Amino acid sequence: MMKNKTIMIFAVSAMLLTGCTKSNILASGGPAEPVFETQKGIQLDWTQINTDIDEEFVENEQYPMALSVNYDLDKEKKTMNMTLMVKHGTTPDQAVEFANAAVKFLNDEVATQDFSYEKSSDTSFGGFFKEYDLKLIVMPDYTMKENKYWLVDMDIPKGSNQTIVPKEGAEVMETTVADEEDTEEKSSEEVTETKVQKETETSAPSK
């Protein structure tokens, strides 16, 4: 009787061990599941972030005054310098709108690659700027040495979500001939596109 009990115990133990082993084996050949949990040591693809930023702001009708988004990162000091270049004639309000959008967009691009960073919101620049201090400047093109024309010039401590405001006493530069020609050219292109679209709709056969 004792011998039979011993055999049964061994049999049950073998079944349990086999069951545990199977539960940890993944079936091969199935589609890989996306991984959304936070992982350490993720290397951000800044080349991709740069590309996405350019596509978002350069030659975008929503930000007609935007020329470029430039930044450099110091990982050891946990600081970022961001300089936004705009066309002459840009108003302080336009500069602030552009700055808010650019800061949040960059954070959200980082958060898309690394889920450990939270995305921005109406009241927050997001998780990246909870770790990095931000030096933010918005200036018209070719005014690097003429800060009286800078429209935004701020130091934003990490995690402060400090409101972006125009630089006090900033002078708005007059629109240059090049800027006016560029604006007129874009307006002309939009009119042409609208005209072509209407002609296409008119000439299209009715169903």
**According to the model, what pLDDT value does residue 174 have?**
84
What pLDDT, on the 0 to 100 scale, is given for residue 15? 47
CA 66 – CA 8 distance, rounded (Å): 78
Closest CA to 102 of 39, 171, 154, 37: 154
pLDDT tens for residues 153-205? Answer: 999 999 999 999 999 998 898 886 555 555 555 544 544 454 445 454 444 55
| 3-20 pLDDT, tens digit each | 555 545 445 454 444 444
- Which range (23-27, 92-96, 202-206) has the least confidence? 23-27
Confidence of residue 26 (pLDDT cuts 50, 70, 90): very low
Q: In terms of Cα–Cα distance, which of 174, 54, 163, 43 is closest to 105? A: 54
As a whole number, mean pLDDT of residues 64-68 equals 96
Q: Per this entry, what is the length of the chain?
A: 207
- What pLDDT, on a 0 to 100 scale, did the predictor assign at position 49? 96
Measured at the alpha carbon of residue 120, what is the angle toward residues 118 and 123, in degrees to the nearest 5? 120
Average pLDDT for the chain: 79
Answer left, alpha or beta for residue 150, where phi above 0 means left and psi between -120 and 50 means alpha.
beta
Position 53 pLDDT exceeds 70: yes
Q: For residue 197, what pLDDT is reported?
A: 54
pLDDT over threshold 80, residue 23: no
